[in-house]
Amino acid sequence: MAIVLIRQDGKLDLWKKAFLDQFPDLPVYSFNEPHPRESISMAIVWKHPEGTLEGYPNLKCITSFGAGVDFIIKDKSRPAGIPITRVVDDALADDMAEYVLTAVLGHLKNMDQYARDQHAAQWQPRPYSRIADHTVGIMGFGTLGSHVGGALSQLGFRVIGWSRHPKSHPGIVVHHGKSGEKEFLSKTSILICLLPLTEETKGILNKSTLNQLCPGAYLINVARGGHLAENELIPLLNSGQLSGACLDVFRQEPLPSDHPFWQHPRIKITPHVASVSDPQSVVPQLVENYRRLENGEALLNQIDSDLGY
């Protein structure tokens, strides 16, 4: 049994080194080097090209390098019936909470506008809002969503959540299903999307959804670009229904240089960096699943491939 690492973002060597630094005897290979394909039992992947997983006759587990698995689910060439697992990591959750807190507080205190004022050499004190003025709504109340919600709640924000199925969290009301969506949206002045990307959630951040938010609401999307109906965002900003948007994820990445989002003054863009898997933190979890696979034990963080999360 052995592991193959598959990713094409320039981080393959970094990850392989992290595996071998911590587990020198581990049989781990990069996909682009000679390796015994018949010995591969676990493939650890990140946004791999479709078809890459073919040709591993003894593959028993497909694992994401991160929390998301949508790119695995949509690969129709992957071997059927193979368990899929993902990363659940405290450092990953902390990173996400820190990013969201930065975005929320920056919005409350007009930091983006002050950056534009500085560029124009303009001294212009502006009104700002306080934590007590807002209700933060988190769409997707799984591991990351509940962690972010807890961090915001500790700062004094009113936090509500929305999930497909009933969830509970101390001090936070979590609405669920279609029946709870309308009330959730109507109370939300800052919307954070942390949903998994599935057939049901594609394009959920559209004008129908966003028009149900409090007037002047702020949008933060740190889930997947496929959640946002991109052509419907700018009209909502121009009308004032949304006061701004912080976007870390996009349908096409890198975001094309001629995309209108780059030029809109009320859109903040970051290059999919809200929460990035740390090899030193994540490798032990991945190796533990490899050990479990070898010994026929239940895998950590296995997802339901029919649900997509």
> For position 160, what pLDDT does the model report?
99
Q: Which CATH number covers residue 190?
A: 3.40.50.720
- Residues 210-232 as b/e (b if ≥16 CB within 10 A, e otherwise) read bebbbeebbbbbbbbbbbbbbeb
171 lies in the same domain as 245: yes
188 lies in the same domain as 256: yes
Active centre residues (catalytic):
224, 272
Average pLDDT in the 73-102 region? 97
Residue 117 within any structural domain of the chain? yes
Provide the pairing of β-strand 84-85 with 40-46. Answer: unpaired
Residue 184 within any structural domain of the chain? yes
> For position 275, what pLDDT does the model report?
97
170 lies in the same domain as 265: yes
Residue 306 within any structural domain of the chain? no
Q: How many domains does the chain have?
A: 2
136 lies in the same domain as 49: no
Structural domain range at position 78: 2-88+277-295
Residue 128 within any structural domain of the chain? yes
> Band of the pLDDT at 154, cuts 50, 70, 90?
very high
Residue 109 within any structural domain of the chain? yes
184 lies in the same domain as 217: yes
32 lies in the same domain as 157: no
Mean pLDDT over each residue of the chain, to the nearest integer: 97
236 lies in the same domain as 283: no
Share of the chain above pLDDT 70, in %: 100
The predicted model scores a pTM of 0.94
169 lies in the same domain as 119: yes
Q: Which distant-in-sequence residues (6+ apart) come within 8 Å of 254 by Cβ?
A: 271
112 lies in the same domain as 228: yes
78 lies in the same domain as 135: no
Residue 307 within any structural domain of the chain? no
Residue 304 within any structural domain of the chain? no
> For position 171, what pLDDT does the model report?
94
Residue 300 within any structural domain of the chain? no
196 lies in the same domain as 84: no
145 lies in the same domain as 287: no
